[in-house]
Amino acid sequence: MEDLYKTRKDYDKHLLLEEDALNNPIDQLNRWLLEAQEAQINDYNAMVISTIGKGGYPHSRIVLLREATHHGLVFYTNYESDKGEEIALNDKVGLNFFWNHLERQVRVTGVAKKMSEAESDAYFASRPRENQIGAWASPQSKPLHNREELEKRVQEVTARFEGQEIPRPPHWGGYRIVPHYFEFWQGRPSRLHDRLVYQVDADFEWCKIRLAP
Ligand SMILES: Cc1cc2nc3c(=O)[nH]c(=O)nc-3n(C[C@H](O)[C@H](O)[C@H](O)COP(=O)(O)O)c2cc1C
């Protein structure tokens, strides 16, 4: 492997100036998501979500963003997973998107709320059958004795629902992150990057602030 201290690259593909950034951060996020999709970035809708565990340590993992609207940012998971249990104790979360090829990062903080049962049902019904079976079969984040145990559970669930529509498991559904802070980061030469923060001001309007890189 190359010496990590010698690995160095300059960022010079784009700029992020106040006058070009949209006034609403959700619109700006959707603009960058579209550009990431157009740049054919793999899993362009992947984001890191960090939750706080009982011991006070943050835990991070990747999930897929399914919706970004003025109501919030949506992803789906198992409510009984580690992340689900952590959100139940502390609903404050951090999100991070990184599009390497575009030299861009977005940071978000907000509060996670469970989606309604009807919203989760509708999305669950649209998923491929194999994924629906997986949601019943996998006790996400719990220990398994071996791979065979998981495969046996998949076979059991497949047999149980044969010839029927698969309902959403009660422990599976969406969270909507209602954001109150965004930072858009655009890499620039000589580490003089652009960083634009959006925060809600006293009039409940989004305002933009530039941070030093
Ligand atoms: C590209 C990618 C996409 C993923 N998407 C999801 C997702 O949308 N929902 C999910 O529950 N886990 C997803 N995962 C798996 C999570 O990163 C994680 O392993 C899992 O949710 C268990 O996390 P936890 O034990 O901290 O709850 C994804 C992983 C990767 C690498």
Q: What's the chain's average pLDDT?
A: 97
Average pLDDT value for residue range 91-120: 98
- Residue 183 token pair: 């930072």
- Does ligand 1 lie within 6 Å of residue 75's CB atom? yes
> Residue 206 has what pLDDT?
96
d(CA 106, CA 140): 27
Closest atom, ligand 1, to C-alpha of 77: 11
- Does ligand 1 lie within 6 Å of residue 63's CB atom? yes
Q: Ligand 1 pocket test: which of 42, 47, 62, 150 has the largest number of ligand atoms within 8 Å of its C-beta?
A: 62
| 110-143 confidence digits (pLDDT tens) | 999 999 999 999 999 999 999 999 999 999 999 9
The alpha helices in 138-184, defined as continuous H runs, are 147-160
Ligand 1, atom 14: nearest CA belongs to which residue?
Answer: 63
d(CA 179, CA 26): 9
Confidence tier at 105 by pLDDT (50, 70, 90): very high
- In the three-class reduction of DSSP (H, G, I as helix; E, B as strand; rest coil), residue 59 is classed as strand
191 is catalytic: yes
User: What percentage of the chain carries pLDDT values higher than 90?
Assistant: 98
d(CA 133, CA 155): 9
> Residue 16 has what pLDDT?
98
Burial class of residue 1 (count of CB atoms within 10 Å of its CB; 0-12, 13-18, 19+): exposed
Confidence tier at 151 by pLDDT (50, 70, 90): very high
**Strand pairing report for 104-114 and 194-200:** unpaired
Q: How far apart are the first and last CA of the chain?
A: 29
Which of 31, 61, 104, 191 is catalytic? The answer is 191
According to DSSP, residue 43 is labeled T
Give, in order, the Cα–Cα distances in Å from 117 to each of 6, 71, 81, 146.
51, 17, 18, 33
How many angstroms is it from 203 CA to the middle of ligand 1?
37
> Residue 10 has what pLDDT?
94
According to DSSP, residue 120 is labeled H
d(CA 75, CA 62): 10
Is 185:106 a contact under the CB 8 Å cutoff? yes
- Does ligand 1 lie within 6 Å of residue 140's CB atom? yes
d(CA 72, CA 60): 20
Average pLDDT value for residue range 92-107: 98
- In the three-class reduction of DSSP (H, G, I as helix; E, B as strand; rest coil), residue 199 is classed as strand
Confidence tier at 11 by pLDDT (50, 70, 90): very high
Pick the CATH number of 8-125+170-210 from 3.40.50.150, 3.40.50.2300, 2.30.110.10, 3.40.1400.10: 2.30.110.10
Q: Is the pTM of this model over 0.95?
A: yes
Average pLDDT value for residue range 24-38: 98
Closest atom, ligand 1, to C-alpha of 61: 17
